[in-house]
Structure 1
Amino acid sequence: MSERASVRVEERPDRVVVTLDRPDKRNAVDADMVAELHEVCAAVEREPRLLLLTGGADGIFAAGADIAQLRERNRTDALAAINSALFARIRALPLPTVAAVDGPALGGGAELSYACDLRVCTARAFFGQPEVRLGIIAGAGATHRLPALVGEARAKELLFTGRRVDAAEALRIGLVNRVVDEPTELLGAAHELLDEMARASSLALRLTKLAVDAPAAAHPQLDLVSQAVLFEDEEKRRRMTEFLERRRDR
């Protein structure tokens, strides 16, 4: 486990577990956290692994961006894409990512969870985009990722009103993939989901994510090229041979 000022990082052979660690600031996303998460992304880009992002054991995922810092930012800072560039980098990581959310995921914290491929949350989790009430927009990904997750009309309602979404509604509208009753079950459920993915071919998983995230115009050509690469992969031959042998031995 390596500790930085704002996050704790646990490296495993097949995954990296990142815990946001600013409990005194309710895990608000500040410049230091952004820099440290960029370091994590660089490591996972060099050595592709699954990634789990969570908020620790204090019942808080991330209660937004650091408002004190945000208040002082100017148009140059906005154009620098401080948070949105990080979240885009997380979204583009080679292998799947999972956000494990307990308690509030608001503003930039919600957008951080949207940047992950999948979301697991507790029954007491809730999501919200209060930016318009603070005189800004949800400019770190919510305006395009939220419509993709829950549909345009519902996303507009949430972005226009700042209304919070509880765990039950989040599951119903497709914002999260799984909900657990107790906070103590959260990390287990997230790791279980990662375990399911870890059983797959890493290259097939990587190319599947690339294809799903690609613009519509890239299909079907991207699918065909990806499949051509996989058809020549030795792991594909090994896995299919093992499958046929297991079926024969039944």
Structure 2
Amino acid sequence: MSVTPELPLVIERRADRVVATLSRPAVRNAIDQRTIDRLHELCAELERSPRILILIGADGVFASGADVAQLRERRAGDARRGINTRAFQRVRNLPMPVIAAIDGHALGGGAELAYAADIRIGTPRLQIGNPETGLGIIAAAGATWRLRELVGEGRAAEMLLTGRILDAATAVDWGLVSSLFEPGDLLAAAHALADRIARNDPLATRHTKTALLAPPAAHPDIDLELQAELFESPEKYRRMTAFLEGRGR
């Protein structure tokens, strides 16, 4: 295991996973251009060497949003470049699962980064939502399409049009977060999820994520092609043989 301080992200690397901690405590982990640059670097690493990614924030906050001081100075060309959007898309499309462990605020761009994860867990003090319209912009880094898939069209519209911030209980009730843990247990809970994922066949896990991200029109053909590859895998044969032999004992 190695730990590399790469502020505004602190990266901990293990053989089967990476923990990336958002760490800009002076601005409640607001996502600035340096954060985006580090996310791109990390995604490039995980595209080359696929591992589970755990995203978490330092000091009891996931991310308070995009850095408003930088947003204020951006213009139309910056919007069209999709500065945060492209980075969050890359996180979403990573080969292996992404777990967002959310404590405290996940607002605006911070919420959109969490939406890009495959699994979201939180703490009882979680606050998540998109207040962008109050700042004269829209949530353009994933919320308008991912949030609809996560909580349904009506609830997504309510959140985005009113700027409603969900508390932890409502986030769980709406299916935006799967479970809650005390703040001191949050990272351990994320690692426990990663442990369960890591016990499975990595290729089957990657193919499952590929199928989950595929558009509806791609099913069932994409599932059958992915399954066809797995049916020829020596690891499938090994695991099924071990299962049958174990059952016979």
Q: Smaller-chain TM-score range?
A: over 0.9
The residue that corresponds to 2:48 in the other structure is: 46
Aligned counterparts of 2:232 and 2:11: Cα–Cα separation in 1: 35
1:201-220 equivalences under 5 Å are 201-220=201-220
Aligned-CA RMSD value:
0.6
Percent of aligned positions that are identical: 56
User: Unpaired segments of 5 or more residues in structure 1?
Assistant: none
The residue that corresponds to 2:186 in the other structure is: 186
The residue that corresponds to 2:228 in the other structure is: 228
One-letter identity of the residue aligned with 1:35: D
Structure 2-normalised TM-score? 0.98
Q: Note the C-alpha offset of 1:206.
A: 0.2
User: Unpaired segments of 5 or more residues in structure 2?
Assistant: none
1:20-54 CA distance string (max 9 Å, x none): 11001110000000000111101000000000000
The residue that corresponds to 1:86 in the other structure is: 87
The residue that corresponds to 1:163 in the other structure is: 164
Q: Is 1:60 matched with 2:61?
A: yes
Aligned counterparts of 1:109 and 1:212: Cα–Cα separation in 2: 23
The residue that corresponds to 1:108 in the other structure is: 109
Aligned counterparts of 2:120 and 2:221: Cα–Cα separation in 1: 29
Structure 1-normalised TM-score? 0.98
1:111-190 equivalences under 5 Å are 111-180=112-181, 182-190=182-190
1:67-104 CA distance string (max 9 Å, x none): 00000000000000000000000000000000000000
Specify the SS of the correspondent of 1:245. helix
Specify the SS of the correspondent of 1:143. helix
The residue that corresponds to 1:10 in the other structure is: 12
Aligned counterparts of 2:221 and 2:141: Cα–Cα separation in 1: 30
Q: Is 1:196 matched with 2:196?
A: yes
Q: Note the C-alpha offset of 1:134.
A: 0.5
Aligned counterparts of 1:47 and 1:130: Cα–Cα separation in 2: 36
Specify the SS of the correspondent of 1:100. strand
Specify the SS of the correspondent of 2:237. helix
Aligned counterparts of 1:226 and 1:4: Cα–Cα separation in 2: 36
Aligned counterparts of 2:39 and 2:20: Cα–Cα separation in 1: 9
Q: Note the C-alpha offset of 1:59.
A: 1.0
Q: Note the C-alpha offset of 1:5.
A: 2.5
Aligned counterparts of 2:110 and 2:95: Cα–Cα separation in 1: 22
Aligned counterparts of 1:5 and 1:199: Cα–Cα separation in 2: 31
Specify the SS of the correspondent of 1:105. strand
